[in-house]
């Protein structure tokens, strides 16, 4: 992931124009200076506030204007690296752009001009002249160094801050995706919260980070305050599978030689708890849950949708998260007849990412309409496993009643769970929950306590989907028979 070596090579080869996409200017300049030093290249930095300044020198008079600064650069003898920080607004101006082009097309001088900033798009005129380089987020070692340094600072100031090796790594991992300055700030914040820094602050740090990254657009941060995997009735096989995979997210698992898990695809009957699994999994693993809305990705211009998807995925992969794609078949539909192939290309972009993505992102995709699922989605190497969530069996139904009764302040021991399970044959988890809620309304209106009989009456009055549309369920089961594992 570390690409500072590339930057060193670009500078050493005197590449004339580099566009450095970055957010963290201080860290970028440190890295750039370190890359320029071995080649003995002096570094100049232009900012709109100070003008052009050579490292260790004074600002050049009258260079706050970019045009003047570029003229001044053209006068400098010999090789050097010239960083133009946040120059993009000034590049709207034709004269400045012209001068920049002239500099970039004069390779004899051995100058390298670096445009640094949060660049997304370049002026068309620079196409073919500029090479893009992106400042990667700090790697694990850099982050661990910051954690150690901050802990020492805090200890010096008398704060109870001491972390073991594993806790340093855990904290550094939680901070992944932030700039070093932001990381430092978050550690301080976590310490101030309760006057001490310990391994217990990791969940706080993860949450605060998700806020900081301001996941927006196609990504939405979902609150996962309540449910854990304990609140999912049944699905023992899937839950056990997930429990084992959760352990593999620990840093120690990589040392052990395990590949990090990548994700699951959940298919099944409606209301069986697929979305519930996604929510409760994130909570159980202590990771932020991020919902990717493929619908928000499609844009009117050529290539725009793919780019938006790439941006969204890149944001998501900056930190360990559970990335949830609900009803994936709708977002990445195989159809795409009338859209000039856009959905095909978006699907291709997504599948490539599924194959190559960095560790840390666990994808939970759910699917209701298996017929709309592109077959490519199911190929090996995409998801770790495809699960089929069927209607719950009798024991599972009893477990689901137990979950929903206790969630509504009722002691399940006071109910005849066997009778309820028997009477709810063919009911999905959502339908069982609805029956409990319906019975509670009745009990409350009648000023009576909730009883087994009340719930049985509610069940008797309900026609579950499996009875009203048996063909749908049969079709799903037939599809899953040789493509998915029972949850």
Ligand X SMILES: Nc1ncnc2c1ncn2[C@@H]1O[C@H](COP(=O)(O)OP(=O)(O)OP(=O)(O)O)[C@@H](O)[C@H]1O
Residue numbers of the site for ligand X (CB under 6 A)?
A: 232-234, 268, 270-276, 366, 368, 400, 403, 429-430, 433
Contacted entry of Mg ion, ligand X, none for residue 234, CB cut-off 5 to 8 Å set by kind? ligand X
Residue nearest Mg ion by beta-carbon distance? 275
Cα 131 to Cα 104: distance, rounded to the nearest angstrom? 11
Cα 36 to Cα 11: distance, rounded to the nearest angstrom? 6
Least Å distance, CB 361 to ligand X, is 21
Least Å distance, CB 366 to Mg ion, is 5
Cα 397 to Cα 399: distance, rounded to the nearest angstrom? 5
Q: Residue-wise over 299-338: b if at least 16 C-beta within 10 A, else e?
A: eeeeeebbebbbebbebbbbbbbbbbbbbbbebbbeebee
Rounded alpha-carbon distances, angstroms, from residue 476 to 268, 270, 389: 7, 10, 10
Least Å distance, CB 279 to ligand X, is 8
3 state DSSP class of 284: helix
Closest to ligand X by CB, 114 or 480? 480
Least Å distance, CB 276 to ligand X, is 3
Closest to Mg ion by CB, 275 or 452? 275
Rounded alpha-carbon distances, angstroms, from residue 177 to 24, 32, 92, 142, 347: 12, 20, 31, 12, 25
Contacted entry of ligand X, Mg ion, none for residue 117, CB cut-off 5 to 8 Å set by kind? none
> Is residue 222 involved in binding Mg ion (CB under 5 A)?
no
Binding window for Mg ion (CB under 5 A); candidates: 135-143, 237-245, 266-274, 331-339:
266-274
Closest to ligand X by CB, 126 or 372? 372
Least Å distance, CB 274 to ligand X, is 3
Contacted entry of ligand X, Mg ion, none for residue 429, CB cut-off 5 to 8 Å set by kind? ligand X
Closest to ligand X by CB, 151 or 266? 266
Residue nearest ligand X by beta-carbon distance? 429
Stretch 226-265: interaction string toward Mg ion, x if CB under 5 A: ----------------------------------------
Least Å distance, CB 113 to Mg ion, is 51
Q: Which two tokens stand for residue 65?
A: 């204007």
Contacted entry of Mg ion, ligand X, none for residue 368, CB cut-off 5 to 8 Å set by kind? ligand X
- Please, are residues 432 and 401 in contact by the beta-carbon 8 Å criterion? yes
Cα 460 to Cα 465: distance, rounded to the nearest angstrom? 14
- Please, are residues 426 and 468 in contact by the beta-carbon 8 Å criterion? no
In 3D space, the residue among 180, 175, 176 whose CA is nearest the CA of residue 146 turns out to be: 180
Q: Which two tokens stand for residue 396?
A: 């599972």
In 3D space, the residue among 2, 308, 250 whose CA is nearest the CA of residue 137 turns out to be: 2
Contacted entry of ligand X, Mg ion, none for residue 430, CB cut-off 5 to 8 Å set by kind? ligand X
Contacted entry of ligand X, Mg ion, none for residue 270, CB cut-off 5 to 8 Å set by kind? ligand X
Sign of CA dihedral 48, 54, 55, 61: negative
3 state DSSP class of 166: helix
Closest to Mg ion by CB, 228 or 275? 275
Closest to ligand X by CB, 272 or 319? 272
Closest to ligand X by CB, 100 or 242? 242
Binding to Mg ion, residues 272-311 (CB under 5 A): 274-275
Closest to ligand X by CB, 2 or 230? 230
Residues binding Mg ion (CB under 5 A):
274-275
């Amino acid at each position: 992931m570390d690409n500072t070596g590339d930057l060193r090579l670009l500078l050493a080869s005197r590449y004339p124009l580099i566009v450095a996409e970055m957010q963290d200017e201080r860290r970028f300049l440190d890295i750039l200076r370190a890359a320029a030093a071995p080649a003995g290249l002096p570094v100049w930095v232009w900012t709109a506030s100070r003008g052009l300044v050579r490292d260790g020198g004074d600002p050049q008079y009258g260079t706050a204007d970019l045009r003047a600064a570029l003229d001044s650069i053209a006068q400098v003898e010999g090789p050097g690296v010239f960083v133009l920080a946040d120059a993009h607004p000034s590049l709207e101006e034709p004269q400045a752009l012209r001068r920049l082009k002239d500099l970039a097309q004069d390779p004899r001088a051995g100058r390298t001009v670096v445009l640094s900033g949060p660049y997304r798009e370049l002026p068309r005129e620079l196409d073919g002249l500029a090479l893009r380089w992106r400042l990667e987020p700090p790697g694990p070692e850099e982050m661990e160094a910051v954690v150690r340094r901050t802990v020492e600072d805090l200890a010096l100031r008398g704060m109870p801050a001491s972390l073991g090796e594993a806790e340093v790594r855990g904290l550094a991992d939680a901070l992944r995706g932030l700039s070093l300055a932001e990381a430092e700030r978050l550690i301080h914040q976590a310490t101030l919260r309760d006057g001490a820094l310990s391994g217990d602050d990791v969940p706080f740090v993860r949450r605060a980070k998700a806020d900081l990254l301001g996941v927006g657009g196609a990504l939405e941060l979902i609150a996962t305050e309540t449910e854990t995997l304990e609140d999912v009735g049944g699905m023992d096989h899937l839950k056990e599978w997930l429990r084992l995979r959760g352990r593999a997210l620990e840093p120690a698992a990589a040392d052990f030689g395990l590949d990090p898990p990548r994700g699951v695809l959940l298919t099944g009957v409606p209301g069986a708890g697929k979305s519930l699994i996604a929510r409760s999994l994130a909570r159980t693993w202590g990771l932020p849950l991020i919902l990717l809305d493929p619908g928000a990705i499609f844009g009117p211009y050529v290539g725009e949708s793919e780019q938006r998807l790439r941006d969204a995925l890149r944001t998501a992969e900056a930190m360990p998260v559970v990335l949830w794609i609900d009803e994936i078949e709708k977002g990445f539909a195989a159809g795409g007849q009338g859209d000039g192939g856009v959905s095909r290309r978006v699907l291709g972009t997504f599948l490539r990412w599924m194959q190559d993505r960095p560790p840390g992102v666990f994808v939970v995709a759910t699917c209701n309409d298996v017929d709309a699922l592109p077959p490519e989605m199911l190929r090996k190497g995409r998801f770790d496993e495809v699960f089929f969530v069927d209607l719950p069996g009798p024991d599972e139904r009893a477990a689901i009643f137990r979950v929903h009764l206790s969630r509504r302040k009722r002691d399940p021991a006071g109910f005849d769970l066997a009778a309820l399970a028997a009477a709810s044959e063919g009911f999905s988890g959502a339908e069982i929950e609805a029956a409990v809620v319906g019975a509670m309304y009745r009990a409350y209106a009648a000023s009576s306590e909730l009883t087994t009989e009340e719930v049985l009456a509610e069940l008797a009055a309900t026609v579950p989907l499996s009875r009203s549309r048996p063909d749908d369920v049969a079709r799903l089961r037939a599809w899953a028979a040789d493509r998915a594992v029972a949850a």
